[in-house]
Each structure stands twice: as C-alpha cells, then as structure tokens.
Structure 1
Amino acid sequence: MAAGWRAMVVEDEVELAALLASYLERDGFEVTTCHDGTSAVAVAGEVDPDVVVLDLGLPGLDGVEVCRRLRTFSDAYVVMLTARSDEVDTLIGLSVGADDYVTKPFSPRELMARVQAMLRRPRPVGGSDRAGGEDRRRFGPLVVDPVGRDVWLDDEPVALTRTEFDVLAALAERPQQAFSRRQLIERVWGPSWVGDEHLVDVHVGHLRRKLGDDAAEGRFIRTVRGVGYRMGAGG
C-alpha cells in the first residue's frame, strides 16, 4: 500500500533500525536510516520523508529536539519510539509535533499498523460553504478547506501538521457535535489505535495556540465538560 512513500528510521540501536527498515521496505516504502539526531535533521531536509519513525532517547540531539527541528520544515507523520512509558515523556514528545508514539518493547507489526493507519486516514470532504464550488467550513474569521487541506485565519494561512489538520477537520465537519477523545481517536488515528487518549488534548492544545484560541473562551475549539470538544462559532 505504501508504493511511492518515503520513510526515515532514526534509531541508535543499529539492529532495531535495520529490522524496522526491513518491515517498511517490505510494505513498499523507500527507507532511509539514521542513527543520531544531528544527521537525521540534515537527511530529512534532503529526502523529504512522508513518515519518520523517531527514537526519543537518541544520544546528543534527542528525539524531542529532532522533532522540534523537523517541524520547522516538514509535515511528515512522526511516530515517536520511547523506552519509558510514563505519560510525561510521551506528552513531551507529542508537544513538539509528534503524531503518535509506541512504547518499547513493541512488535514491528504494531508499528506498521500505526503507520498504515496514518496513511489511510480519511479525508473529510463535506462542507457548508460551497460558494464558487469550494468545500469549506467557516467559523467567523477561521476557514477550513478539507479538500485543499488549507486553513486561514483572518485571511492569513495557518501552518498545521497533518495530524493537527486532521483533528481540526474532524471537528469542523460536524460543528454541532461534541466529540469524545475516543471518537476523535477513531476518526483520526483509527478504531484499532490503543494508547493514552490524552494525546488528543495535546493536539487540541497545539491547534489552540496556532489559532490564538483561549481554552477558557473556546472561540474556535470549545471544551465540552464531561465529553470532549466541539467547534465554536468563531466571531
């Protein structure tokens, strides 16, 4: 299913990196491997990967910093690998733009399932504003275009990662619906995803920051107590 997709594996355990690369290649990816963070950032700029499998505990430039730097020029899906299962490490990784995480030890098949689920994400195409043949959702000064995968605020483009856009598009597709974390997980990460559902909160936090949205006010993304999130009316 991955013919034409490019992947990077950034892992200092050479044997594990080779194993993961073999699974990705078997699934049709063109794979580049790196064993340290500094070279990973440089190589990513050259190969422009679609997916990056990134170890959190790299020597020198760790996975968090690598991810932070990747996000300055790449919207690749990033899956963080961590040997530590506590929530703090996971959320630190996600806070700099990782899309998902897998905790060691893990099955390579589990990782591939996560990667495949990301690449199969549905792209919402319904829209309430169809002027000019365009499928767009408008929330005051915020415009979400699920077809072109563009977002504008006050007529200025907003740069989102792929996962941030997918979360926003899911909310925007049904603005009157309050989505639970699990519902958003199923729409964005897939129904078979297993892990800490609070990663939804992390991505919503990213969106609010980029949209200049206050969590208490909920101008665009509103918190529904005891449920989850829904789109606000804007203004």
Structure 2
Amino acid sequence: MNPAKRFEIFSRFRAANPHPTTELDYTTPFELLIAVLLSAQATDVGVNKATRRLYPVANTPAAILALGIDELKSYIQTIGLYHTKAKNVMATCQMLIDLHGGEVPHSREALEALPGVGRKTANVVLNTAFGDPTIAVDTHIFRVSNRTGIAPGKDVVVVEQKLLKFVPKEFLQDAHHWLILHGRYTCIARKPLCWNCMIADLCEYKAKTLAPAVK
C-alpha cells in the first residue's frame, strides 16, 4: 500500500470520527489501567458493567486493597478469568503504592513491570491516559492491518512496528482507536462488511463482500 492511500484512509477515519476514544469507562489513569487489565479475553461492555459497580466503591489502589481479594472478586466475577485478574489487580495496586506513590507511572517499563500488564495494556494506557502516540495491537487492529494492507505482519509486534512507521504522524495519536473501532464494527472477523465500509475503494483486500440481498 502506498503512502497516499494510507493518508486518505486515515483522513476519512478522522472526518467521520474526529475525537475517537476507548469504549471502556474511566475517569482517571488508574481506572483505565484496571479496566484494560480486566478486558483481556473479555468485552468492553462486560468490563464496564463490572466497573460501574466497583469504581463508586473503590477506584484507587488503596481502596481496592482495603476491599480485599474476595470482595474484589464479587465485583468482577462476571468477567472471564476473574480469579487470575483479581490477583493481578491486587498485586498491581500494592506495587503502585510501594513504588509509585499510588499513581499510574507514565513509563512503558514501569507499566509492563506491573502484574498482568503486558505491552498491549501499557500501550493503551500510554496512548489514552497520557496522550502518547502508541498503538496497542489487539486482534481487531491485527486483522484490519493485515486484511486492508495498511500494515501487514506475521505477529502483533511486527504490525505495531509497521503502523508506527507507516501511519502519517498527524494521525498517530488516534490511529489506535480508529483501527479498533473499524475492526469491531465494519471489518469484522467472520465476514467484513465491505459494502458498508468508508475505505472499501482504498482497501487491498481481494475477497470483498457484497451487500446482502434484500428479501
């Protein structure tokens, strides 16, 4: 894919959605960090249902530690892998207090040192909470990048590196959210909705789908 096509793709994304953001509910960097940590192999809708109950009661590291792990589990038990996630949340809260004064660090290395926080989660927090031009490659971004030809790669690290290289700088801050939303609602996994896609004429996917026949 050539640079002109990529520029036009992201220009259209921006025109349609000038200020994209995460669909996870949060008001502070800490709330975002915990929501993203809980969102692995879970839907944003499911995480939001849990945090809407949890955060009014406990939305700081100290408050969650004061709850205790069993009480925490009662708030997040509707989310997949909640036993493991509860342990990671508690350990992360303890580390934030012990090492960072209870604040979420603005550092990739410090974020990735937190239990249950990998590169993808760190990138989301750096981008969404702190405004860094990072791209967290999840299944949606991986699929869209490969399918469209924007930034094809055999694994998430390669795709991330290519996106950081190929996405025009003026779009880097928001590229993460545009690509996720496009993958979540248009370029969906099973069968992309090419007939309803704003970048279909620019996309290099060969097997484009036609609009369903009207019955």
Bigger fraction of residues in helix = 2
Q: Which has the larger radius of gyration?
A: 2
Query: Normalising to structure 2: TM-score of the pair?
Result: 0.31
Query: Normalising to structure 1: TM-score of the pair?
Result: 0.29
Structure possessing the higher relative contact order (Cα contacts under 8 Å, 6 or more residues apart): 2
Bigger fraction of residues in strand = 1
